[in-house]
Structure 1
Amino acid sequence: MFSQSDVERAIFDCEKQLQGCRLRLSAVNTSKGTAPRSAEDDAVILRKKVRMKGFEEDVSVISELQSEAESSLAGGNVRMGGRRASLSSEQHEKIKDRIIRTFNLDEKRGLTMMRENGFGRTPQQTAKFLLTTGGLNREMVGRALGSFYDDRGMESLRLFAEGVNMQGMQFMEALRVFLKKFKLPGESQMVDRILEAFAKAYCKANPQDFSVDSAHAIAFAVIILNTDAHSHNLKQLAKMTKLQFTHNTRDIEGCKELSTEFLESIYDEVTANEIVHQENKHDEGNLFHDAVKEGWMRKKAAGAAAIAWRKRFFILTKNPPQLYYFEDDKSNDPKGYIPLENVNVSKSKKHKKGLELTPMKGELLKSVKYSRSGELVLGEHKVAELKAQSIEESWEWYEAITGIINKAN
């Protein structure tokens, strides 16, 4: 990020050059009998100079500098002791944190916030943000990638795929590495666009292996096989045989020349080892890779009787500040979470090991649950009640949650 001194130097340098430009242009215009350059024109010059200074990644910085310049052109010198012309590192991280939290709830709103705040104004920035930002929900990343269909979006998808290093990898190794970066969406058209981008990126990195059409077709066949072999919803149905897989795949345009041995090796690998978007909750860059605290607690079902306490595995994160809960400690995908912005935590008066989460401003407490189909279900409650495994652990959870809430508000 840019320090205050960097911004002030940029303003000072630009102002000096602008002052010189104005004096020279004034002399030229006077001799030619033309009107002097307007403040708006000078602001354009300043904006170009600011870009050259390396501020093009932050729209707010350019906007602030332009506003300062226009004020000075209208009525005097730049006020160096006035308002801040740049986002501080803390402000930058807070904006980024809000984008992450919004994106994890609604990827479309998140993408809009990215563009509005300078994190996704170009396809390059969008691809980099989705590929490298820690704490993004991988399911939402998949939805975002699948929603790209116009020229700008397809360019972001292409750059995202090419940003995954696949050089020198075998096909299945590359596909597994690629699919760990996000969770494939459920719609076949979205999956097809994403896998086509993968195929192009893989062939660009390994030009001697396959044609793009072949790589695309094999990738799609692999996803169908993976679903057939490992989906819990298809347990009652007969599984695809090796002969069916090789026969069906070879009938696809672009795959007729593939050897039986190659297709059989893919079948054996996929049926033996499921392709997953994350190996465990703590994969680097995942939502939970830098957890503040994790462990077992009981959660009272909303609006249910006192006996309806369900044992869940909880993970507390700081970026974003949220309390996630899972079916058990082996699950990779959460059942839901409670955002900790504008929330109070207190020790329960009814249970020695209990905690209560309540809204700060007398509103309802927000919560998010994932349905069986993966859709987000929003909830609002007066209180969320939790019980730790011991009194000592309840205090540890209380202190950890309090620390996160204080930073978030």
Structure 2
Amino acid sequence: ISVPEDLSLEEREELLDIRRRKKELIDDIERLKYEIAEVMTEIDNLTSVEESKTTQRNKQIAMGRKKFNMDPKKGIQFLIENDLLQSSPEDVAQFLYKGEGLNKTVIGDYLGERDEFNIKVLQAFVELHEFADLNLVQALRQFLWSFRLPGEAQKIDRMMEAFAARYCLCNPGVFQSTGGRVKTWKRRWFILTDNCLYYFEYTTDKEPRGIIPLENLSIREVEDPRKPNCFELYNPSHKGQVIKACKTEADGRVVEGNHVVYRISAPSPEEKEEWMKSIRASISRDPFYDMLATRKRRIANKK
């Protein structure tokens, strides 16, 4: 390294020292560049690994959904075995509720199974729905949007029972009804489905206390001095005839009802109108029943 001759000895040593430190700094910078390059390479590799894992996971989830749509139990088992789904009823219910890529008909079949685990999944699935402040038609429409009802009657019964319990829990406002020989008002929870009116004594009941088929009945608004927002079911063709219905006694026996009319008091005028509209839409006519009732009345009159 050349040094100007006009510098003093002290200045020459200082210049050499500066040049030496400069070289050390350049070497340090190059070393840091190399280390940074190595770190960036490692980061890129880690990112690629994570992306690969994510891609693999997504592929497995997609495979699990396909398996579920072909065989729901095998699909759930595949997802659990590959740590893509927890084995609790709550996690399985959440997976079905989200429904991404799942066949809604298959979801309905799986939820309707009578296995203990499936029943727990159904319960957890229903609890994911919020029915507060919805009328029955709105709540049922929301519930049925998340799956398709299966074709088996027993499966439908289990699912509708779970729905009814959840709906009653979310809507503590209930009807009161009267009828029969002793005119006393009783608090009841009602479910309208399949052209029948089911009523329950408690929200936790799995079986209805009574069933009123709406066939050949009519509905009308009535005034009652003891209760507001009243309407009643009656037989328009055969005045005074007991309505075809059944109820469960305290000892568990199922007996025929003895009501000539069913008078019901709704919690509010709005709910009264909504229920009357829904019940009216569910009423069906059966000419054979009219003919049979007329024949029975004639026989009774002859006696």
If the length of structure 2 is used for normalisation, what is the TM-score?
0.47
User: Which one scores higher on RCO, CA 8 angstroms, separation ≥ 6?
Assistant: 2
Structure of larger gyration radius: 2
